Amino acid sequence: GLALPASDCIRGLLYHWGIQFHHLNPNSITHIFIFIHFCEAFLGIEPHFDLFCYFFHLLPQPSSDKQVVVGRVGLQFKQGNGKEYIKYKTPTNHSGWRELWFYIGNHQPALAERTPWKAVQRPEWNETLTRSEMVQVTDLVLFISALKKMSVTGASVLLSMFKGRIQPL
């Protein structure tokens, strides 16, 4: 589930991308849940924006031709960088998920008011990090590699989150 108010991290990502929460599909939300808890509980840091941008980018879903409002964008691993991240799989088909989707109150500090507009693709959806932005990222990727060798996976991150009864985002 999602606990509101939303964290600074999710509000920052949404602002940076110029989208709203309802534009994300279920797998995208899972990627964000895992990343935030992985940073906090396993790396011992606040969610790291540059590290997130190193691993993930947004793409129109299902494609830029098919315009939908809810779930229009999806987070995916950047080509080649996903191999350096912890392993986990997300479902390839969420058939009918839009019919089951619901929203809850928007508590302070609030997310932007929900709008009926479609997300518009922006350059920020697929940024390349600068050399200076990569300085910390390189060290963190090495740390992640060590955690992977200790069998840390997306499943173990989710288990940690659920056992601790931590509300994501």
Confidence of residue 136 (pLDDT cuts 50, 70, 90): very high
How much is the pLDDT for 81? 92
How much is the pLDDT for 98? 57
How much is the pLDDT for 1? 42
> Which of 112, 137, 160, 94 lies closest to 5 in space, CA to CA?
112
Average pLDDT of span 150-168: 88
**Dist. CA 70–CA 91, nearest whole Å:** 18
How much is the pLDDT for 160? 92
Mean pLDDT, the chain, integer: 82
**Dist. CA 58–CA 50, nearest whole Å:** 14
HSE toward the beta carbon, residue 127, CA cutoff 13 A = 17
Check: CB of residue 16 under 8 Å from CB of residue 126.
no
User: Residue 27 above 80 pLDDT?
Assistant: yes
DSSP string, the chain: ---SSPPHHHHHHHHHHT--GGGB-HHHHHHHHHHHHIIIIII-SS--HHHHHHHEEEEESS-SSS--STT-EEEEEPTTGGGGSPP----S--TTHHHH------PSSPPPPP-SPPP---GGGG----HHHHHHHHHHHHHHHHHHHTT--HHHHHHHHHHTTPPP-
Check: CB of residue 29 under 8 Å from CB of residue 105.
no
How much is the pLDDT for 42? 97
Question: For the ranges 38-47, 69-78, 112-121, which has the lowest average pLDDT?
Answer: 112-121
Reported as a single tens digit per residue, the pLDDT across 31-54 is: 998 999 999 999 999 999 999 999
For the question of whether the overall pTM of this predicted structure is more than 0.85, the answer is: no
Residues paired with 74 in a beta bridge: 59
Check: CB of residue 77 under 8 Å from CB of residue 56.
yes
